[in-house]
Amino acid sequence: MEKNNKPVVYIISDSVGETAEFVVTAVASQFNSGHVEIHKESFLTDSGRLKEIVKEASKKNSMIVYTLVLPELRDAIIKEAFKYNLPLVDLLGPMFAAFSRIMSVDPRLEPGLIRRMDEDYFRRVAAVEFAVKHDDGKDPLGLLQADVVLIGVSRTSKTPLSMYLAHRKIKVANLPLVPEIEPPQELFNLPRNKVIGLTIAPDLLREIRQERLTALGLKSRANYAEMERIFEELEYSKRIMRRLGCAVFDVSHKAVEEVADKIINVVKEYKEE
């Protein structure tokens, strides 16, 4: 059968195939990649299916790129590609051979191993992205999706704690408590163990806020840093926390790690219930 002139790259992998797709895309960009089709077959473990793909590829202007770990599949694809005289690129084979010369152990030959090793990394990234998206009261609906919600007045370490906990793979949302703004109803629909209140000594809060205003080039006597305003905000936050019945931690003169450990314990207890 006459082959279609449009180039097609078949990617075959016994895992996701992301490595091969990245390499193929990078190389194809040097040959005007808009005129190249990429067909990817992921999690392939059956030699019968492999033969079908190679036969299909033989009918087109195509090549095959593969990242197969299992020896039986590697042997099968070489045999099938040779039968149809198809261009074949093995992305892992040369690297396996080179590693075998310097390593004292045999390869584990487990498909998708790197993906499993990277699961923690991706969960951490997802938690950080969640914390950024739901920082400072953004998207109240996200409160329901969080592992824990931090509440408190401005400058009670809500954001630093959120980032620290996110790097521990905990999805955190934080919400500022301001007397003039009623908290979203979603906050009151949460189990009390999913909410953590943060408080701080008034004098310390004033000092922190004054430093913040100075850094921003604003007047140090602005309402934001006045004791009357600070007492008003802290009293309001206490009323909200009592209403919620949540745990409350004082962040005065405490390192982020110290407070975070207490929050992690609450999260663990909640998840074990």
pTM of the model: 0.60
- Are 73 and 138 members of one domain? no
Whether residue 267 is predicted with pLDDT greater than 60 in this model: the reply is: yes
Maximal CA-CA distance, the chain: 86
CA distance 192 to 97: 56
Whether residue 3 is predicted with pLDDT greater than 80 in this model: the reply is: no
From 145-149, 155-159, 197-201, 220-224, the region with the lowest mean pLDDT: 220-224
**pLDDT confidence tier of residue 154, bands split at 50, 70 and 90:** very high
pLDDT tens digit string along 203-217?
A: 999 999 998 888 887
The closest of 131, 145, 9 to 64, measured between CA atoms, is: 9
- Are 44 and 109 members of one domain? yes
- Are 126 and 175 members of one domain? yes
Three-class secondary structure of residue 13 per DSSP:
strand
- Position of tokens 């921003």? 216
The closest of 147, 171, 161 to 200, measured between CA atoms, is: 161
**pLDDT confidence tier of residue 266, bands split at 50, 70 and 90:** very high
Whether residue 19 is predicted with pLDDT greater than 50 in this model: the reply is: yes
Mean pLDDT of 187-205: 96
Whether residue 221 is predicted with pLDDT greater than 80 in this model: the reply is: no
Mean pLDDT of 49-61: 94
User: Residue 193 is part of a domain; what is its CATH number?
Assistant: 3.40.50
- Are 113 and 128 members of one domain? no
Q: Tell me which of 70, 95, 117 is where a domain ends.
A: 117
Q: Tell me which of 117, 141, 170 is where a domain ends.
A: 117
- Are 113 and 183 members of one domain? no
- Are 128 and 194 members of one domain? yes
- Are 125 and 41 members of one domain? no
Whether residue 122 is predicted with pLDDT greater than 90 in this model: the reply is: no
From 7-11, 84-88, 122-126, the region with the lowest mean pLDDT: 122-126
DSSP annotation of 41: E
Three-class secondary structure of residue 60 per DSSP:
strand
Burial of 12: CB neighbours in 10 Å, binned 0-12, 13-18, 19+: buried
Specify the pLDDT at position 49. Answer: 92
Amino acid identity, position 243: R
- Are 127 and 111 members of one domain? no
- Are 137 and 263 members of one domain? yes
Specify the pLDDT at position 273. Answer: 65
Average model confidence (pLDDT) across the chain: 88
- Are 200 and 90 members of one domain? no
CA distance 41 to 243: 54
Whether residue 182 is predicted with pLDDT greater than 70 in this model: the reply is: yes
pLDDT tens digit string along 135-144?
A: 999 888 889 9
Amino acid identity, position 49: R
- Are 54 and 181 members of one domain? no
Specify the pLDDT at position 118. Answer: 54
The percent of residues above 70 in pLDDT, for the chain, comes to 91
Whether residue 111 is predicted with pLDDT greater than 80 in this model: the reply is: no
From 86-90, 122-126, 161-165, the region with the lowest mean pLDDT: 122-126
Mean pLDDT of 195-208: 96
The closest of 152, 155, 200, 202 to 173, measured between CA atoms, is: 152
- Are 126 and 104 members of one domain? no
Q: How many CA atoms lie within 13 A of 94 on its CB side?
A: 4
The closest of 205, 151, 159 to 182, measured between CA atoms, is: 151
User: Residue 36 is part of a domain; what is its CATH number?
Assistant: 3.40.50.2300
pLDDT tens digit string along 61-108?
A: 999 999 888 888 889 999 999 999 999 999 988 887 888 888 887 776
184: number of Cβ within 10 Å: 14
Specify the pLDDT at position 1. Answer: 46
Name the residue range of residue 267's domain. Answer: 119-272
Q: In what order do the strands lie in the sheet with 4-13?
A: 37-41, 4-13, 60-67, 88-90
Q: Tell me which of 55, 82, 117 is where a domain ends.
A: 117
**Which is it for the CA torsion 59, 60, 64, 70, positive or negative?**
negative
Domain count, the chain: 2
